[in-house]
Amino acid sequence: MARARGSRRRLLVGGVLALLVLLVLAALASIVVGARWIPLAHVWSAVVAPTGGHDDVVVRSLRVPRTGLGVVVGVALGVAGAVIQGHTRNPLADPGLLGVSAGAAFAVCLAVYAFDIPSGTGSVAFALGGALVASVVVFALGTLGGGGGTPVTLALAGAAVTAFLGALTNALVLSDARTLDAYRFWAVGSLVGRPDAVLVQILPFLVAGLLLAAVNAPALNTLQLGEDVARGLGQRLGPARVLGVASVTLLTGAAVSATGPIAFVGLVVPHVARAITGPDHRWLIPYSGLLGALLLVVSDVAGRLIAVPAELPVGLVLALVGAPVFIALVRRRTLAAL
Amino acid sequence: MRFRGVPAALAALTVLAGCGSGGGQGGGTSAATSSGSFPVSIEHTFGSTTIDAEPARIVVLGWSAQDVVYALGETPVGMPSYSYGGGDDGVLPWDAEHFDRERTTLLDTTDGPPLEDIAALRPDVILATYEGFDRATYDDLSEIAPTVAYPGEAWTTSWEDQTAMIGTALGRSDQAQQLIDGTKAALRQVADAHPQFADLTFAYTSMGADAFYLYLGQDPRVRLIEALGLTLDPSVDALAGAGDTSTFYSQVSLERAPEITADVVIGFADGLTASQVETQPIYAQIPAVQRKSAVILDDEEFGAAVSSVSVLSIPFALGTLVDRLASAAGHAQA
């Protein structure tokens, strides 16, 4: 018995290493491959000894930043998906469930409409703020009934706030062309053209969100047994919920602020991860993060190759890839009961 | 003196548009209406529409149709409100001097033609010569009043066709032809005044933070620049060739933007300011940007003027465009 558990542990550690290797390979591909064909030797010289030519600029100002953003945002969305699905015990929950994406979208529009702050680093701060506020409101509404809120009341409050913010966003977008411009740019879900400073700006929030997720993992395991059993085992539900919601909000808020809404990563990746790791969130969370990064970077590279000389934004690629993958997952087996 | 021809050309156009207004005020007694013998029939993509008598209450839909109506000396009872380029009041700047709030209702066409609002205006004719609605909408509109739809594909009407069709519908074909000839002459005058344009190639682009678009040979913007004497650069077709199938624009990866080797690049800053575009590292690699022979525009009114080309918007656009093109041309040749 002990030996079996030990070998499973070795297997899971090996899986993490394998995913890391795959992620490094994907990141390298993302730097080498693109709509413009650049020989390997030129890519290398762009990295180590740039002279400021066309190829150098493509590698340094386009490919490297989007690769970095892809890895970071992929990790965030994957982990956020695992945490939200764990907390709601709902296999169809995605990180936008708590109104985070809708809050960020509304804040981006408000920044342009009311304060004349165009897209860029300024609106990232706004989007983050919007995501946090929306999430706090959803949590407050969802827990009004007392008892720390159930997954159902949280999901309902999230849906209501999302719908309300969506209506407000539409009102702003329809009444002002400049707001529409900014929203349209943001809402595509793309890793391209985001100022370099954005990555630095969101990093602290992502790190905080990841730490909270790690702390939250054991509680998530207990919660899977049902709330009554969890309580019986001495798990205090309220603090665990607050921790989880905070983690999802920080991770998703930071991710969508930087790239706009990117669908399916947070929804699909935890299912794939669960198929590998089983229900133990101490493994499920890191696997979801790595798989999320891998999926996002690979999809971004694919988007550059499908439509040469044009590009498909990664949000679009994921919608195209994600839907069939999700249906396949659902059909292959009953989703790991949560 | 390089810019000599421009004021003259603009003056010619102003006179032309002015003479249109004069002709219309007289209520059909001037020579301008002599070509009008109703009924007239006009072919369009959904068939043929017959107008029995000179229409008094005109509703226009789509892009730029009110420009032609104004230039022909008439005032529509209803026209679209333009959120892009129309400022806070929804009236495009080159229509502003003609627009009379008492006589013209602005229509919100965000969700397509507002049928009830249009019907309430009791139009004699609906002119939608530069539009893109479907047959069902056309049928609905036709029940309200005889509707002149667009010819050919959606949103592809040339300014010449639009002017001629509206001229026919209002019984002023001759006057419409004069507007077309006059506008072409003004464009030719600019070209003649800037012989250096004839030696230069150009690309017309849209430059955003995450998307780069090339406008192709059939686009009204491209045709406008061609009319000034420049030639569309072969690198545009070379780059766009494998991409989009649209004949008007092609999306191209930012990575390949510097492969545009045109002498002059006209770039519409999409969601960015002109200086943001010029300092974006990848756009700074475009040869024309490096030479300062790029014209980067972030003025929305100007964007609207070159996007919805008409007998009124062309003079408005030329005011900004010609000086900046001439300056860019100087750098291209240096």
User: Is B10's pLDDT higher than 50?
Assistant: no
DSSP three-state, residue A200: helix
Whether residue B112 is found in the same domain as residue B233:
no
Average pLDDT of A311-338?
76
For residue range B52-108, what is the model confidence (pLDDT) as tens digits?
Answer: 999 999 999 999 999 999 999 999 999 999 877 777 788 999 999 999 999 999 999
Question: Per CATH, which fold does A70-332 belong to?
Answer: ABC transporter involved in vitamin B12 uptake, BtuC (1.10.3470)
Which phi and psi angles does B264 have, rounded to 5°? -125, 130
For residue A108, pLDDT beyond 70: yes
Question: Are A73 and A261 a contacting pair, CB within 8 Å?
Answer: no
Per-residue confidence at A8, pLDDT binned at 50, 70, 90? confident
Omega before B315 within 30 of 0, i.e. cis: no
Residues B77 and B150 in one domain: yes
Q: Which residues of B touch A61 (CB under 8 A)?
A: 281-282
Q: How far apart are CA B44 and CA B46, in angstroms?
A: 6
With helix as H, strand as E and coil as C, how does chain B read?
CCCCHHHHHHHHHHHHHHHHHHHHHCCCCCHHHHHCCCCEEEEECCEEEEECCCCCCEEEEECCHHHHHHHCCCCCCEEECCCCCCCCCCCCCCCCCCCCCCCCEEECCCCCCCHHHHHHCCCCEEEEEECCCCHHHHHHHHHHCCEECCCCCCCCCCHHHHHHHHHHHCCCHHHHHHHHHHHHHHHHHHHHHCHHHHHCEEEEEEEECCCEEEECCCCHHHHHHHHCCCEECHHHHHHHCCCCCCCCEEEECHHHHHHCCCCEEEEEEECCCHHHHHHCHHHHCCHHHHHCCEEEECCHHHHHHHHCCCCCHHHHHHHHHHHHHHHHHHHHHC
B86 and B235 co-located in one domain: no
Tokens of A228: 């009554």
In a domain, B190, yes or no: no
B179 & B204 share domain: no
Residue A145: pLDDT over 80: no
Cβ contacts of A331 within 8 Å, gap of 6 or more = none
Is B242 a domain residue? yes
- Supply φ then ψ for residue A96, to 5 degrees: -80, -5
Check if the beta carbon of residue A336 is closer than 8 Å to that of residue A274.
Answer: yes
Task: Flag the least confident range among A82-86, A236-240, A309-313.
Answer: A236-240
Q: Are B282 and A36 in contact (CB < 8 Å)?
A: no
Print the domain residue range for B281: 195-333
- CB proximity under 8 Å: B 291-310 to A: 300
Chain B residue nearest residue A189, CA to CA:
B210
Q: Looking at mean pLDDT, say which of A138-147, A216-225, B120-129 comes out highest.
A: B120-129
Q: Is the pLDDT of residue B255 over 90?
A: yes
Domain boundaries, chain A: 70-332
- Any idea which residue has 């919100």 for tokens? B108
Identify the closest residue of chain B to A34 by CA–CA distance: B255
Across the interface, whether the CB atoms of A57 and B285 are under 8 A apart is answered yes
Q: What is the pLDDT of residue B247?
A: 65
The pLDDT assigned to B334 comes to 58
Quick one: B300 and B324 in the same domain?
yes
More confident residue, A327 or A244: A244
**Closest residue in chain B to residue A184, using alpha carbons only:** B271
Instruction: Name every residue in A having a CB less than 8 A away from some CB of B.
Output: 34-36, 53-54, 57-58, 60-63, 118-119, 174, 176-177, 180-182, 184-185, 188, 190, 192-194, 304, 307-311, 313
- Does some domain include residue B327? yes
Query: For residue B21, what pLDDT is reported?
Result: 36
Q: Which of A59, A181, A191 to mutate to test the interface with B (most CBs of B within 10 A)?
A: A181
Boundary of a domain, candidates B132, B160, B184: B184
| Residue A262 backbone phi and psi in degrees, to 5 | -125, 115
Q: Which of B110, B244, B259 sits opposite A310 (nearest CB)?
A: B244
**What confidence tier does B7 reach under pLDDT thresholds 50, 70, 90?**
very low
Residue B208, token pair as written in the block? 């955003």
Residue type, A65: P
CB A252 within 8 A of CB A93: no
- Say what the pLDDT of residue B2 is: 38
Q: B310 with B64: CB under 8 angstroms?
A: yes
Q: Look at residue A53 and give its three-state secondary structure.
A: coil
Token pair 């133990």 is found at: A280
Out of B84, B210, B253, name the one closest to residue A310 (CB).
B253
Residue of A nearest to B242 (CA): A309
Q: What does the pLDDT look like over B164-204, one tens digit per residue?
A: 999 999 999 999 999 999 999 999 999 999 999 999 999 99
CATH number at B321 reads 3.40.50.1980
- b/e sequence A296-308, b meaning 16+ C-beta within 10 Å: bbbbbbbbbeebb
Which residues are within 8 A (CB) of A243 and not within 5 positions of it... i.e. 6 or more apart? A212, A215, A216, A219
> Is residue B6 very low, low, confident or very high in pLDDT (cuts 50, 70, 90)?
very low
In this structure, the answer to whether residues B258 and B294 fall within a common structural domain is yes
Q: Give the position of tokens 């370099």.
A: A196
> Which among B83, B255, B270 has CB closest to A58?
B255
Same domain, B233 and B156: no
| B135: number of Cβ within 10 Å | 12
Residue where a domain terminates, one of B144, B160, B184: B184
Contact yes or no for B196/B329 (Cβ under 8 A) = yes
In a domain, B159, yes or no: yes
**pLDDT score of A329:** 72
Do B229 and B150 have their domain in common? no
Quote the number of domains for chain B. 2
What distance in Å separates residue A57's CA from the closest CA in chain B? Answer: 6
Q: Give the other-Cβ count within 10 Å of B55's Cβ.
A: 20
User: What amino acid is encoded at B187 in this protein?
Assistant: L
Distance to chain A for B34, nearest Cα, Å:
43
Closest residue in A to B213 (Cα) is A310
Residue B73 lies in a domain: yes
Question: Is A193 in contact with B210 (Cβ distance < 8 A)?
Answer: yes
Contacts of B83 in chain A (CB under 8 A): 176-177, 180
Closest alpha carbon to A130 in A92, A94, A167, A169 = A169
Q: Which of A292-301, A303-312, B8-17 has the highest mean pLDDT?
A: A292-301
Query: pLDDT digit string (tens) for A12-61?
Result: 899 999 999 999 999 999 999 998 999 999 899 988 888 888 999 999 99
Of the listed ranges A2-6, A126-130, A274-278, B137-141, the one predicted with least confidence: A2-6
How would residue A122 be classed by pLDDT, with cut points 50, 70 and 90? low
C-alpha–C-alpha distance, residues B66 and B32, integer Å: 18
pLDDT tens-digit map of A33-47: 998 999 999 899 988
pLDDT above 70: percentage of residues in chain A: 93
Arithmetic mean of pLDDT over chain B: 85
Q: Which pLDDT does position B19 carry in this prediction?
A: 39
pLDDT of residue A333: 60
**Range name among A270-274, A330-334, B233-237 with the lowest pLDDT average:** A330-334
A149 token code pair: 């809120």
